[in-house]
Amino acid sequence: MPDPNLIRNETGPQRTIGYVLDVGQTDKRARCWLDLTPDHMNRHGVLHGGIAATLLDSASGATGSLTVDPAGRAPFLTISLNTQFVAPVSAGRVTATGTITGGGRSILFISAQLMDDQDRLIASSTGVFKRVPLQPKEGR
């Protein structure tokens, strides 16, 4: 039986890149992990920066979602994302974890760290995320 706390293949980027969102941790911080393959590397043989930023963005947005939805699926949009690339990685698993640092009901400030499987910091980000109000479905 699939784990309901793991979100797989839900979006185009998830299907294309292959990352998994984990929204089931007791600390209410979403994790986004990826097992690296040669398809994730840039021409220098290390994790492509755009993929690293995608993982940080996804972990941050899902962390925001967990503030209003225990399933981690409430939509949050990225308003801004600043990314710092710290170290290269070329193999293993990388995991991004989001942390809420401030905000209110509709705007959240969220930082994230991307770590390799040796607990080495690969990249970090800070961002601003906006809660998207759910639209009522027709006929309701």
Q: Say what the pLDDT of residue 137 is.
A: 63
- Region 4-27 average pLDDT: 93
85-97 average pLDDT score: 98
Go through the domains of the chain in sequence order and give each one's CATH number. Answer: 6-131 (3.10.129.10)
Give the confidence band of 100 by pLDDT, cuts at 50, 70, 90: very high
HEC letters along 25-69:
CCCCCCEEEEECCHHHECCCCCECHHHHHHHHHHHHHHHHHCCCC
pLDDT at residue 136, as a whole number: 64
**In this predicted structure, what is the pLDDT of residue 139?**
56
Please compute the mean of the pLDDT values over residues 44-57 and round it to a whole number.
98
Determine the Cα–Cα distance for residues 66 and 43; give it in Å rounded to an integer. Answer: 36
Q: What band does 138 get if pLDDT is binned at 50, 70 and 90?
A: low
pLDDT band at 45 (very low <50, low <70, confident <90, very high): very high
